[in-house]
Amino acid sequence: MAIQFAGVVLLMGLVTACKQSPEAEEHAHDHHDEHASVLASFESSVEDVLEHGATIQEAFESDSPDAAHDALHIIGHLIETLPELAVDTDLSESDWSEVKSASDQLMEAYGHVDAQFHGVTDGPSFADVKPTILQATEVLRKLADKSAAAKPQQP
């Protein structure tokens, strides 16, 4: 229970971001604004989650975890929007529940990864949570594909 509570607390840090220099905050804000205009659909948001997830995975697997820190905060914001965006699709309520579950799994997994940047040394490593991340992102990818296929094709 204590570990779950710690995960939730760290998850809040993942979404709210760490203190950054003014220049880094401005860059992050500009980057967030750039994404906010692009993230008009569930499908594009899932694609962005996959891209940032790949950046995070590459950073940890190349033993350069610091390169993942910004992407971790961005991905937290993206994942947070997925359940709400899914409701605006033609997916079923059952699919919406799957989106919510996969999003929750990703938030918890990436929360553990982010915790490593905030002094938690006894939590799961990226390698420990990677299977959960891969499984949850595969669920999201399939649901995004299903949603895209249900949309009327433009002539």
List, for residues 4-58, the tens digit of each pLDDT value. 444 444 554 555 445 444 444 444 444 444 444 444 699 999 999 999 999 999 9
- What is the rounded distance in angstroms from the CA atom of residue 112 to the CA atom of residue 11? 8
In angstroms, the CA 1 to CA 58 distance is: 31
Q: What backbone phi and psi angles, to 5 degrees, belong to 29? A: -65, -45
Distance separating alpha carbons of residues 109 and 64, to the nearest angstrom? 19
Q: What is the largest CA-CA distance in the chain?
A: 55
- Which two three-digit tokens encode residue 4? 């779950």
Q: Which are the contacts of 112, defined by CB distance < 8 A and separation ≥ 6? A: 7, 10, 123, 124, 128, 129
Instruction: Place 69 in a pLDDT band, splitting at 50, 70 and 90.
Output: very high
pLDDT digits (tens, 9 = 90+) for 86-113: 999 999 999 999 999 999 999 999 999 9
More confident site: 14 or 79: 79
What per-residue confidence (pLDDT) applies to 80? 96
Burial class (CB in 10 A: 0-12, 13-18, 19+), 44: middle
Q: Which residues contact 11 (CB under 8 A, 6 or more apart)?
A: 76, 107, 108, 111, 114
Which of 36-45, 73-82, 116-125, 146-155 has maximum average pLDDT? 73-82
